[in-house]
Amino acid sequence: MISLLRSNIYRRFSTDFIGKYQSLINSGEIKLDHQQAFVVAELQKFYEDLQLPSVTTTEKIEVKGDSSSWRLFGSQDTVKYVTKQVWRKIPGIYLYGSPGCGKTYLLDLFYDFVSLSHKRRVHFNKFMLEVHQIIHQLNKADVPDSEKGYDPVPKVALEISKKARLLCFDEFQVTDIADAMILKRLFGKLWEEGVAIFATSNRPPDDLYYNGLQRFLFLPFIEELKNNCKIIDMNSDVDYRYGGDEEHLRTFIWPNDTIAEQEAKKMFLKVTGKEKGGILTIPVMQGRTLTCKNSANGCGVFTFKELCEEALGAADYISIAQHFHHVIMIGVPTFSVYRRDIMRRFILLIDELYNRKVKLTCTAEVGIDQLYTEEGAEFDEVFAFDRTISRLTEMQSKEYAELPHTPII
């Protein structure tokens, strides 16, 4: 791959994305990763496609005549032709690989490099939450009788396409049946309108929504995804989250005994300057709220039961990550496939805290590497848990502790 970066391709595009990646290597900011270099070459092609201009199309529209028109003169229907500019349809990128191999780094590097006014980078969970909110609003709105019973999903996709030529999704995963049932219609319309997709995931397309409820209804989306995106396997054994400073703070405390409880109290005192806080209620969405029983100065204390055994979802975790720069979670158990609902919520919670650089202190039954030890189970939550373990490990590091809280992403 070194030869790839030194080839005529590199010289030709020295001011393009390959050149950007090479400059980071030359400056010593990153080290050459052969698999990343291969992906960068593919992203260069994607970058070139995005530079292609929009295309002009002519759409035929039939306009119904006035029902009071004289029948003597036949139909009063007319035909109009509307000319408009549309995004040129190009293949997207679906980049998958093991946790920490650099997928998100490349996505962010590419997103920052591409100078498009119509682009958006968003965590997939947040994006789908927004989609469901818009659908909910459309379903509540007053519509003419002629439009009742219509499918609002394509309309949502059409509105998204007007604002985004490029959509970048981090952590593309499907664990919710509500998401699974609308993805084909949603993305089908996005692709039809020429929206280019760049998504990262821990799972190859064929493993998405693995063993999910009514998965056979989801399978057509997988084929659409493979038809509209170039599927790239990072195929790297390197986990960059385990690099950097090896010094770890005692923020994942086990076993969950009286000593762990005292350690958690000391952490609360250290972060807030208080031995005990007060009750805080924060907004979630659509009038819903969530209550923290012990909060002070941007730090919130929750039990694992409150966060992962109650019927909470991505919206709740996003709100927590926005309102607290430090979360203390008491009583993290070991996980089992027999309670995948709890595992799924824990995965979503850690994702949102990590994305917004929230500091996390946990008391737990066992150490991070022992949270899930079962073998042979093949469910999406089990595959995704590798990412959670990796992130929990990084979140203990001194390097992570020094990162600023980013409530808005």
Confidence class for position 222, pLDDT limits 50, 70, 90: very high
Q: What is the pLDDT of residue 173?
A: 87
Q: Are strands 166-170 and 119-123 parallel, antiparallel or unpaired?
A: parallel
**What is the residue whose two structure tokens read 């000593």?**
259
The whole-number average pLDDT for the span 119-127 is 90
The whole-number average pLDDT for the span 314-337 is 95
Q: What is the pLDDT of residue 13?
A: 43
- pLDDT at 327 > cutoff 90: yes
The whole-number average pLDDT for the span 69-92 is 68
Cis peptide before 255 (omega within 30 of 0): yes
Confidence class for position 12, pLDDT limits 50, 70, 90: very low
**What is the residue whose two structure tokens read 């038809």?**
227
% residues pLDDT > 90 (the chain) = 50
The whole-number average pLDDT for the span 188-193 is 94
The pTM of this model reads 0.63
- pLDDT at 142 > cutoff 50: yes
Q: What is the pLDDT of residue 210?
A: 84
- pLDDT at 30 > cutoff 90: no
- Residue 369 in tokens: 């590497």
pLDDT by residue (tens digit) across 206-217? 989 888 888 899
- pLDDT at 314 > cutoff 70: yes
Q: What is the pLDDT of residue 143?
A: 60
All structural domains of the chain, each given as residue ranges with its CATH number in brackets, are 2-54+85-233 (3.40.50.300), 244-401 (no CATH)
Mean pLDDT of the chain: 85
Confidence class for position 402, pLDDT limits 50, 70, 90: confident
- pLDDT at 276 > cutoff 50: yes
Higher pLDDT, 86 or 338: 338
Q: What is the pLDDT of residue 148?
A: 56
Higher pLDDT, 327 or 399: 327
Higher pLDDT, 397 or 290: 290
Q: What is the pLDDT of residue 324?
A: 96
Q: What is the pLDDT of residue 14?
A: 43
% residues pLDDT > 70 (the chain) = 84
Task: State the number of CA atoms in the 13 A half-sphere of 330 facing the CB.
Answer: 19
- pLDDT at 248 > cutoff 50: no
Confidence class for position 8, pLDDT limits 50, 70, 90: very low
The whole-number average pLDDT for the span 10-27 is 75
| Cα(371)–Cα(381) distance, integer angstroms | 13
Q: What is the pLDDT of residue 292?
A: 97
- pLDDT at 61 > cutoff 80: no
The whole-number average pLDDT for the span 371-398 is 88
Q: Which of 100-109, 227-236, 346-355 has the highest mean pLDDT?
A: 346-355
- pLDDT at 73 > cutoff 80: no
- pLDDT at 144 > cutoff 60: no
- pLDDT at 333 > cutoff 70: yes
The whole-number average pLDDT for the span 167-193 is 92
